[in-house]
């Protein structure tokens, strides 16, 4: 089914002590037991380093240790399902961008001349100087469909995205902007399978 696109859019070591030898060979030295107990200090067991724990943003602090989405193996496959999985990965990266204000990774999933591939996360860059962090506003795909299967090295995928309510906060926690409702939008993605895998070559709202 052909769809037109709009242009928006990181051992403990045991220290070995050596007893000093006197110059008198016949002079009795310390017993083995006393030498061992006084000369071999045992290093304390190192304290395990706790792994970083993800903490979502709150009214008083920004999100911490946000995990970077990992591309699923399916998203690397040259199949209709692979194209859908790739779009799902793009959605996860967009949500990561909203939560961290780091848009570099999601932009890399589309070509440089795909206007919306750059402008959608680019909108986050433009607003970034006006707030310190975003509370809420995670993005998920409620539906992803592939249309027309594969045509040579290309595929068309339509996804419905939902974004939860969110608050943009200043450095002292004051609300800069509040969106109280769930936002929903559909995007149509034209993908092309290249040497490095899928990439988005066009993105917009289906019409």
Strand partners, 198: 193
Domains of the chain: 73-204 (3.10.450.50)
CA 54, 67, 185, 117 torsion-angle sign = positive
Q: How far apart are CA 40 and CA 17, in angstroms?
A: 5
Strand positions, DSSP E, the chain: 133-136, 139-151, 154-163, 166-169, 175-179, 183-194, 197-204
Q: Is 77 in contact with 71 (CB distance < 8 Å)?
A: no
- The answer for residues whose C-beta is within 8 angstroms of residue 67's C-beta and 6 or more apart is 54
Q: How far apart are CA 99 and CA 137, in angstroms?
A: 8
pLDDT at 45: 55
Q: What pTM did the predictor assign?
A: 0.77
pLDDT at 2: 40
pLDDT at 207: 73
pLDDT at 164: 98
pLDDT tens digits for the chain (207 residues)?
444 454 444 323 222 232 333 333 344 444 444 444 444 445 455 555 556 899 999 999 999 999 999 999 999 999 999 999 999 999 999 999 999 999 999 999 999 999 999 999 999 999 999 999 999 999 999 899 998 889 999 999 999 999 999 999 999 999 999 999 999 999 999 999 999 999 999 999 987
Two structure tokens written together for 31? 């017993």
Q: Is 82 in contact with 75 (CB distance < 8 Å)?
A: yes
Two structure tokens written together for 99? 């939560």
With tokens 């395990």, the residue in question is: 48
HEC string of 3-27? CCECCCCCCCCCCCCCCCCCCCCCC
pLDDT at 46: 57
């Amino acid at each position: 089914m052909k769809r037109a696109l709009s242009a928006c859019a990181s051992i403990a070591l045991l220290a070995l002590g050596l007893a000093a030898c006197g110059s008198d060979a016949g002079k009795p030295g310390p017993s083995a037991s006393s030498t061992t107990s006084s000369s071999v200090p045992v290093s304390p067991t190192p304290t395990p380093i706790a792994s970083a724990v993800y903490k979502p943003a709150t009214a008083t602090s920004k999100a911490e240790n946000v995990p970077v989405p990992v591309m699923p193996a399916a998203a690397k496959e040259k199949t209709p399902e692979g194209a859908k999985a790739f779009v799902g990965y793009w959605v996860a990266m967009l949500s990561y961008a909203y939560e961290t204000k780091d848009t570099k990774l999601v932009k890399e999933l589309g070509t440089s001349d795909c206007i919306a591939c750059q402008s959608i996360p680019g909108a986050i860059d433009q607003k970034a100087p006006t707030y310190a962090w975003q509370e809420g506003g995670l993005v998920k795909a409620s539906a992803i469909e592939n249309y027309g299967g594969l045509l040579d090295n290309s595929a068309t995928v339509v996804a419905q995205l939902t974004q939860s309510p969110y608050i943009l906060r200043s450095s002292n926690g004051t609300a800069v902007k509040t969106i109280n409702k769930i936002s929903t939008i559909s995007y149509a993605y034209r993908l092309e399978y290249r040497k490095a895998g899928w990439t988005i070559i066009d993105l917009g709202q289906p019409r």
